Amino acid sequence: MTVPTVKLNSGHEIPQLGFGVFLVPADEAEKAVSEALEVGYRHIDTAAIYRNEEGVGAAIAKSGIARDELFITTKLWNDRQAGEEPHDAIRESLDKLGLDRVDLYLTHWPTPEKDTYSNAWQKLIEIRDQGLATSIGVSNHLPEHLDRIVQDTGVVPAVDQIELHPAYQQAEVSAWGEKHGMKIESWGPLGQGKYPLFENPAVAAAAEAHAKSPAQVVLRWHLQRGVIVFPKSVRKERMAENLDVFDFELTADEMQGITAIDPGDGSGRVGSHPLEFN
């Protein structure tokens, strides 16, 4: 089974469905990533703050999979954004991952009170130009943050990785990306289990109609919207289930029904707010 790819504004392709290791303990990361690679994932998303880059790297090394068949993302944590710190941070991440470059390097949060996100973005451009990251992007940036970094540097991020699920769709960020050629990645694509998404009538009906699980239906909703998504699971059977979403297609009515879950007032957010997380 081949996962479709999305072309980034850097000219490089990214698998649209990947494997996330947020909250995977360091001592479980190698096993989880090894199993994900066995199941068929080739896109792995980690971060310095997850403290499991070594485990990810060990799984990559043992997999025997050619480097150019893998797409590896990691992220710059908030306390490394100032001065030249991003240069030190990427080299530390590469050492832990056992790689000479990542395919995508992201700033993790804008942390507006620190006012270091524009400097961080400028340093990521330098990191890309040095060949340590093939593509660069951001996470959790709102249009106001995106406008500023593009104004300061002239470089549009390849992606913005944001909280995005049926109850919280961030239409303004998505519209910014559409206008400027930036792709959207979803973290928490299933709402992190923090609300009864799978019991929603639109999700449940689509799952029954296609003989798929509610989780598969929601992942399919993301994919048909062009979003890059990476669900997280440490159970091998669930990893396989999450990957088995390319043999069916939601109808326009089913898509609309799931899209209508968002109340439109921001109340569906389950994670931190980018203006408040510093």
The reported pLDDT for the residue numbered 24 is 81
* pLDDT tens digits for range 99-134: 999 999 999 999 999 999 999 999 999 999 999 999
Residue 23, pLDDT > 80, answer: no
Please compute the mean of the pLDDT values over residues 18-22 and round it to a whole number. Answer: 92
b or e along 40-53 (b: 16 or more beta carbons within 10 Å of the residue's beta carbon)? ebbbbbbbbbbebb
Is 41 an active-site residue?
A: no
- Amino acid 11: pLDDT: 98
Q: How far is CA 10 from the centre of its chain?
A: 17
Which one of 50, 105, 117, 168 is the catalytic residue?
50
Look at the domain 5-192+225-234 and name its fold: TIM Barrel (3.20.20)
Q: 276: which DSSP letter?
A: T
Contacts for 104 with CB less than 8 Å, ≥ 6 apart: 14, 71, 72, 73, 133, 134, 135, 136, 137, 158, 159
Average pLDDT over all residues of the chain: 96
The residue-averaged pLDDT of 185-201 equals 96
40-87 pLDDT per residue, tens: 999 999 999 989 999 999 999 999 999 999 999 999 999 999 999 999
Q: Where are the domains of the chain?
A: 5-192+225-234
| CA–CA distance, 110 with 120 (Å, rounded to integer) | 9
- The predicted-structure confidence for 231-264, as pLDDT tens digits, reads as follows 988 899 999 999 999 999 999 999 999 999 999 9
